[in-house]
Structure 1
Amino acid sequence: METAFDESERRAWAGQADAYAASFAKLCAYTAPGLLDVAGVGEGVRVLDVGTGTGTVAALACGRGAKVTAVDAEPGMVAQAALSVPEADVRLAALPQLPLADDEFDVTVGNFVLNHVGRPRQALTELRRVTRPGGRIAVTIWTVPAAAGQALLGRAVQAAGVIRPAHLPVLAPEDDFVRTEQGLAALLGEAGLNHVVCETVTWDHRTTPEEWWSGPAAGVATIGQIVTSQDPVGIAEIRNQFDLLCADFTGPDGELVLPHAALIACGQA
């Protein structure tokens, strides 16, 4: 059963495939190779990519010779992924209940998908269900507290005096978990996975101020929903604060250099 958080996520991502592809997709692509590495994805491996978005992880897995099924909850994402990764079986489906058979895959991966589900433990249990015994499940999430570059947009919102609107729910306390190596590893263990390993990956994401602003300006993700919930004056003030804060991350060439950190965890079904 979907939670209020799940329903909010559906609304937030509806029709956002193009805006996501032009903004945050490049950031999220960074962890894709490492995600497939820890899961052991290679020639002939049956892979499920959950929350495929525009198909970045699915395309990389297909390039390794894997047999890939990819699912996403947003029809626009499914359409883009199907076009960009024609060799994958791309379907519309959403956690926490996937229309897939038990033990169907050797490997199941989810790149940042756990950030967008209302019941992460239930979602992981579902991923374990569709993964064969002995198969691997690998996921990524953002660290909390966020790295400096990741926090830039949130700092701009805060500096503008904007608070999170009441219609954007947060996870229920009983469903949340600590976003550290230990916390994510414990979450996988609670879902019944064995031999869990978790590591932190850090990188500098290079972008431009206009590209980085384009995502929230279009309403992409929670930060975008916060921005676009404001009136024009409020949006202009967030943009003004964003421009001021960008100075701390702007390189000699005018590009933004944004430090990010994420967790990659893998366990055995």
Structure 2
Amino acid sequence: MTSFDAFERLIWAGRAEAFAGSFAQLCAHPVPRLLDAAGVREGVGVLDVGTGTGTVAAAACDRGATVTAVDAEPSMVELAAKAAPAAEVRLAVLPVLPFEDGTFDAVVGNFVLNHVGHPGETLAELRRVVRPGGRLALTIWTNPGAPGQTLLGRAVEAAGVQRPAHLPVLAPEDDFPRSPQGLVDLVHAAGFSQAQGETLRWDHRVEPEVWWSGPASGVAFLGQIVTGQPEEVRAEIKRQFDVLCTEFAGPDGRLVLPHQAVLVGARR
């Protein structure tokens, strides 16, 4: 486990409910396209890696697939099991999966590759558990992000808070361009074929306080930065957030936040 992986385990520990109440709806947007790219339908055996609160697993079950889902965080496993009672939901930490070679017809991962220290090794493991001719479908967040993706980070910067120097990042040899071609190249390097990528764009509509509740509860990387500040600094970040929200306010008072992600589908 890299220092990046260890930090990921720390920042997500016990935060499934906070994620479900803040960012889970955003992450659910690409799910139908993700399942289409993996050919998920009735009778297909699917592995959902990094299932989180179980949105993808539940949607795959609704299509009649036979679903196994894994996540590295116990609180996520608990919620996913409730969201997708027809699925087999297990605890597992990438890049090591407790399955035999060629077990699944398809593997899907919704934004999970953003959270692993060795993306290439992770993809090699996903290839191992897919049968020959089976499918892979993945989403990642783009970098640079769309304006809605950068709102929270802009609030932190506007409050004068810098990224703590001790927080880990991917090693240069493990990083890759967060673009359709960047992910396609990484997938091909892991031994998959016929990889095709595209950029998905959508507006996420959400109440400002719901959007703020994620970082205020310590969810994800920015949440750790926010909750790690003294009380007066947290208050200034929130003030800057409120100011910046005016750029995205819709007529009903909800935020209209442009987002974009990369979707790649491939064959084993």
Decide: shared fold, TM above 0.5: yes
Question: TM-score if structure 2 supplies the norm length?
Answer: 0.99
Is the 8 Å Cα contact of residues 70 and 89 (structure 1) preserved in structure 2?
yes
**What's 2:135 paired with?**
136
Q: Which amino acid is the alignment partner of residue 218 of structure 1?
A: S
**What's 1:267 paired with?**
266
**What's 1:258 paired with?**
257
**What's 2:77 paired with?**
78
1:43 CA drift (Å): 0.5
Gapped runs of 5+ residues in structure 2?
none
Q: Which amino acid is the alignment partner of residue 103 of structure 1?
A: G
Q: Tell me the distance in 2 between the aligned counterparts of 1:106 and 1:157.
A: 43
Q: Which amino acid is the alignment partner of residue 210 of structure 2?
A: E
1:168 CA drift (Å): 2.0
Q: Provide, for residues 186-241 of structure 1, a one-character-per-residue CA deviation record: whole Å limited to 9, x for no partner.
A: 01011111000000000000001100000000000101011111111111111111
What is the DSSP-based 3-state SS (H/G/I as helix, E as strand, rest coil) of the residue aligned with 2:149? coil
**What's 1:6 paired with?**
5
Aligned: 1:17 with 2:4: no
1:166 CA drift (Å): 2.9
What is the DSSP-based 3-state SS (H/G/I as helix, E as strand, rest coil) of the residue aligned with 2:145? coil
**What's 2:98 paired with?**
99
1:251 CA drift (Å): 0.8
Q: Tell me the distance in 1 between the aligned counterparts of 2:192 and 2:21.
A: 35
Count residues in correspondence: 268
Q: Which runs of 4+ in 1 moved over 6 A?
A: none
Aligned: 1:161 with 2:163: no
1:250 CA drift (Å): 0.3
Is the 8 Å Cα contact of residues 29 and 57 (structure 1) preserved in structure 2?
yes
Is the 8 Å Cα contact of residues 165 and 229 (structure 1) preserved in structure 2?
no
What is the DSSP-based 3-state SS (H/G/I as helix, E as strand, rest coil) of the residue aligned with 1:149? helix
Q: Tell me the distance in 2 between the aligned counterparts of 1:151 and 1:200.
A: 17
**What's 1:40 paired with?**
39
What is the DSSP-based 3-state SS (H/G/I as helix, E as strand, rest coil) of the residue aligned with 1:150? helix
Q: Tell me the distance in 2 between the aligned counterparts of 1:201 and 1:250.
A: 22
Q: Tell me the distance in 2 between the aligned counterparts of 1:234 and 1:268.
A: 48
1:1-269 to 2 correspondences below 5 Å:
2-269=1-268
Q: Tell me the distance in 2 between the aligned counterparts of 1:170 and 1:158.
A: 19
Q: Tell me the distance in 1 between the aligned counterparts of 2:228 and 2:147.
A: 24
Q: Tell me the distance in 2 between the aligned counterparts of 1:166 and 1:139.
A: 30
Question: TM-score if structure 1 supplies the norm length?
Answer: 0.99
Q: Tell me the distance in 2 between the aligned counterparts of 1:189 and 1:227.
A: 37
Q: Which amino acid is the alignment partner of residue 75 of structure 2?
A: G
Q: Provide, for residues 46-79 of structure 1, a one-character-per-residue CA deviation record: whole Å limited to 9, x for no partner.
A: 0000000010000000000000000000000001
Q: Tell me the distance in 1 between the aligned counterparts of 2:221 and 2:177.
A: 19
1:167 CA drift (Å): 3.4
Is the 8 Å Cα contact of residues 181 and 199 (structure 1) preserved in structure 2?
yes
1:87 CA drift (Å): 0.3
Gapped runs of 5+ residues in structure 1?
none
Q: Provide, for residues 161-199 of structure 1, a one-character-per-residue CA deviation record: whole Å limited to 9, x for no partner.
A: 111123321111110000111111101011111000000
Q: Which amino acid is the alignment partner of residue 9 of structure 1?
A: E
